[in-house]
Chain A
């Protein structure tokens, strides 16, 4: 049965990559179930579907993967997002894009490996279009994607201040983690598809 990862990687039923994925049926099934539980949640009390899709669009954009941007961009439009979101997300992606991972270590022997890089602050126009909650979620997402070793309580405090519940912060962070996984599985499968044994 084909799933979202098959769709994104262009895997046909009965193909060699389909067989490889079936060799890891649990991973295949539960990656799809992870997608379903994140994007078709039982409750939207802590993070709405629209917010989740908007974060997904941002993560896809930060990774510069056209297939992922198209997929989640379509989902955003179909979910009925406000018209201004598409442009605001695109502007945020342009401003936030970079090269990771970078960041700082706790002071000590690893400080020699500290690698400086930007801490993303969303622009005023994008904040106005997306609202305080999504603006804070994007700033948190950028840290997780590009410089996770800088994680610190103030990043979480900013989310709380913007109105995110503890559960909502867990959901958004899990979402970014899942997308990082999904994007990499799809990227890897696409390379394998173009390079048959």
Chain B
């Protein structure tokens, strides 16, 4: 084992935020593939990661890497609770854009663009930074990510309110509908109302709801859910 800083081979360092695949090169010696034992393979979680210098460096502490990896996988991949994958990646991309890690930003921006299909919006976040205007929902997610990334942390009740206002928790409501409803009845958007407009005979006045919606700037057509 060599305890020293290693020099990187000649390479072009990225100088802008990008969705491109970047070459991450270690400054400390990763483990050699032939050194990896069963304990290390368990730490890598995915056997294919034995090919990655990044993971072969972190696997020097196999238990720490294993639990970090399993936490990370649940945070990003678990479809059962929380945001759609695209918005989890958006939050991570905004975090990396704000703290300035070009490498991490490239990975999360790539996934955010792939899953949301909003390539131009993701690129605008990368080019202009975290203050750029995306849309109400993405702005709230980016602002919350920035507040949580700041040190000291500036995340507060105003961020929770802003997230709720743009429909966070909506995803879990939609998910709860899926097994219960025909697919065409599953809502694409969820909008909170404090009271229903009722007719005298006790029916919901749908035309009033439609009029409110028209005036709110929300659209049902082309909405994503």
A27 close to B (CB within 8 Å) = yes
Do B3 and A165 touch across chains, with their CB atoms under 8 A apart?
yes
Tell me the nearest residue of chain A to B151, going by C-beta: A100
Chain B 58-112 residues near chain A, CB threshold 8 A: 58, 60-61, 63-68, 70-71, 73-75, 78, 80-82, 98-102
Residue total for A at the interface (Cβ-Cβ under 8 A):
60
- Chain A positions within 8 Å of B, measured between CB atoms, are 20, 23-27, 29-31, 33-34, 37-38, 41-42, 46, 62-65, 98-101, 103, 105-110, 113, 145-146, 148-149, 153, 156-157, 160, 164-167, 169-171, 174, 177-178, 181, 183-184, 187-188, 191-192, 194-195, 197
- Closest beta carbon of chain A to B200's beta carbon, Å: 32
Chain B 94-134 residues near chain A, CB threshold 8 A: 98-102, 129
B160 close to A (CB within 8 Å) = yes
Closest 7 CB pairs of A and B: A108-B15, A149-B100, A26-B74, A23-B81, A37-B63, A27-B74, A33-B67
B161 close to A (CB within 8 Å) = yes
Across the interface, A149 reaches (CB within 8 A) one of B99, B159, B160, namely B99
Query: Considering the chains assembled together, what is the distance between the CA atoms of A183 and B153 in angstroms?
Result: 9
Do A99 and B169 touch across chains, with their CB atoms under 8 A apart?
no
Q: How large is the interface on B (under 10, 10 to 19, 20 to 34, 35 or more residues)?
A: 35 or more
Do A167 and B153 touch across chains, with their CB atoms under 8 A apart?
no
Q: Mark B131-159, 1 if CB is under 8 A from A, else 0.
A: 00000000000000000111111011101
Chain B 13-70 residues near chain A, CB threshold 8 A: 13-17, 27-29, 57-58, 60-61, 63-68, 70
- Closest beta carbon of chain B to A114's beta carbon, Å: 10
Do B67 and A34 touch across chains, with their CB atoms under 8 A apart?
yes
Do B16 and A108 touch across chains, with their CB atoms under 8 A apart?
yes
- Closest beta carbon of chain A to B89's beta carbon, Å: 16
Do B82 and A153 touch across chains, with their CB atoms under 8 A apart?
no
New A-B pairs, 7, CB < 8 Å, besides A101-B98, A101-B99, A149-B100 = A24-B81, A27-B74, A34-B64, A37-B63, A109-B16, A153-B5, A160-B5
Do A34 and B80 touch across chains, with their CB atoms under 8 A apart?
no
B212 close to A (CB within 8 Å) = no
Do B5 and A145 touch across chains, with their CB atoms under 8 A apart?
no
